[in-house]
Amino acid sequence: MKKPKNVVIVSHKFLNQPDDDLVLYLNKHKTNNVLFIRHSFSDANNRCSYYDWYKDGKLYLSERTKDFKKCPEPIIYLKEIFYTYKWILKSKIKWDYCICMDGLLTFFTKYVNIFKKYNKLIFWVIDIVPEKRFKSKLKNNIYKLINRKACYRADEIWDLSPRMDLIRKELYGFKASDVSIHKFIQYGIWTGRIKKYPYKACEKNNAVFMGHLLEKQGVQLIIKAIPKIINKNPNFRLKIIGDGKYKPNLIELAQKLGVLKYCNFLGKEDNPVKLENEIAKSCIAIAPYIKNLDTWTYYADPGKIKKYIGSGVPVILTNVPWNAEEIEKNKCGLVIPEDEDELVKSIVFLMDSKNNQLYRNNAIKYSKTFDCNQVFEEIFK
């Protein structure tokens, strides 16, 4: 695949995703035109649609719709279709690639090509959820149907995780051979822009969690373990970066256990450079996914793990992400069961000066395998 001259990217947004990094990469290489269309996701504080149009790496035009938050869900989806079509057609450009970040967007964007507005439709799959994607059984069936149709309608499929192709065959009866081009495009990190801290300069008693605050993310496991942790390290602190509907539950739990003073809820950080710096200063990072609650992560490539390691911070995680064993093998993290005592033991181990510096060095080395420049160069070489 040659480097394209004109690229349109369409996505749903709540947090930063790989599409944001692809836009940075394309602009860095002064791509002629990049049209970045986003629709606010259901967990966002609004339901706007908006776009940024870049020419030769510089912002050319932007537009944002009104907030559709109070509209019924079907109206919101119709709004997304309308504005995607409107902005692509309005551009009056024949796009080389139209890259869609989920099945629904791929499904309906296919029909834009009635007007021959792009050469190739790419479905970049950032999640596959076999069961309980939604609370409604009907919605789950619609989700599977739309994703199956999207796979057949795309000219290329890019998977964020090597597990995706396996489950797709099981769910949809869809094989890699059913599409002309199929690639594994993992989550990348701009490792070069992150300031790394040696152990002696880091926040030696701080653990960090970054992400969407949902029960499945397992932050409650860390909070429950704090009484045991402070018996071994009275100066321990937990930084929690992010927001979500489970945040009040976490605060209530910390208050109930009398450990709220050890928890620093920093809120959501939208600036990726500030976010990375806050992570990089930390001594260790934690990602204790709850397997029986998490229908997303097993088949995905969680960006927070990459952020942790790309920032040179050792990570403690449960055996849910596809690369968990690889992370432990490269000694840049520890894989633990969902067990309080094991969590405490791992935190104490990784906060030890010698262990921490060794794992920091290994994390920096390992992160070079998923640097954004390398990831995207592989696509367009």
pLDDT of residue 58 exceeding 70: yes
Cα–Cα dist 310/283, whole Å: 14
pLDDT at 32 over 70: yes
Q: What is the pLDDT of residue 1?
A: 59
Q: What percent of the chain has pLDDT over 70?
A: 98
The pLDDT of residue 175 is 67
Provide CB contacts within 8 A for 237, sequence distance 6+.
203, 205, 206, 207, 262, 263, 264
Kindly indicate the confidence band of residue 180, based on its pLDDT and cuts at 50, 70 and 90: low
Per-residue pLDDT at 275: 94
Alpha carbons 335 and 349: distance in angstroms, whole number? 13
Number of C-beta neighbours around residue 232 at 10 A? 12
Residue 54's H or E segment, with its range, is strand 49-55
3-state secondary structure 87-120: HHHHCCCCEEEEEECCHHHHHHHHHHHHHCCEEE
Instruction: Please state whether 94 falls in left (phi above 0), alpha (psi between -120 and 50) or beta.
Output: beta
Position 170 scores a pLDDT of: 81
Same fold for the domain at 6-185 and the one at 192-370? yes
Contact 282, 205 (CB under 8 A): no
Q: What is the CATH number of domain 192-370?
A: 3.40.50.2000
Would you call 209 exposed, middle or buried from its count of C-beta atoms within 10 A (0-12, 13-18, 19+)?
buried
| Tens of pLDDT, residues 298-339 | 999 998 999 999 999 999 999 999 999 999 999 999 999 999
User: Would the pLDDT of 132 be above 80?
Assistant: no
For 136-150, 181-195, 233-247, which range has the lowest pLDDT when averaged over its residues?
A: 136-150
Nearest-Å Rg of the Cα atoms of the chain is 21
Q: Which of 57, 60, 56, 115 is nearest to 85 (CA)?
A: 115
- Residues near 270 by Cβ (< 8 Å), separated by ≥ 6? 16
Of 222 and 178, the one with more pLDDT:
222
What does the domain layout of the chain look like in residue ranges? 6-185, 192-370
pLDDT one-digit tens code per residue, 153-171: 999 999 999 999 888 888 8
Token couple for 156: 């290329």
Predicted confidence at residue 140, as pLDDT, reads 85
**pLDDT of 256-274, one tens digit each?**
999 999 999 999 998 989 9
Over residues 231-249, mean pLDDT: 95
> Given 3.40.140.10, 3.30.70.270, 3.30.499.10, 3.40.50.2000, which CATH number is that of 6-185?
3.40.50.2000
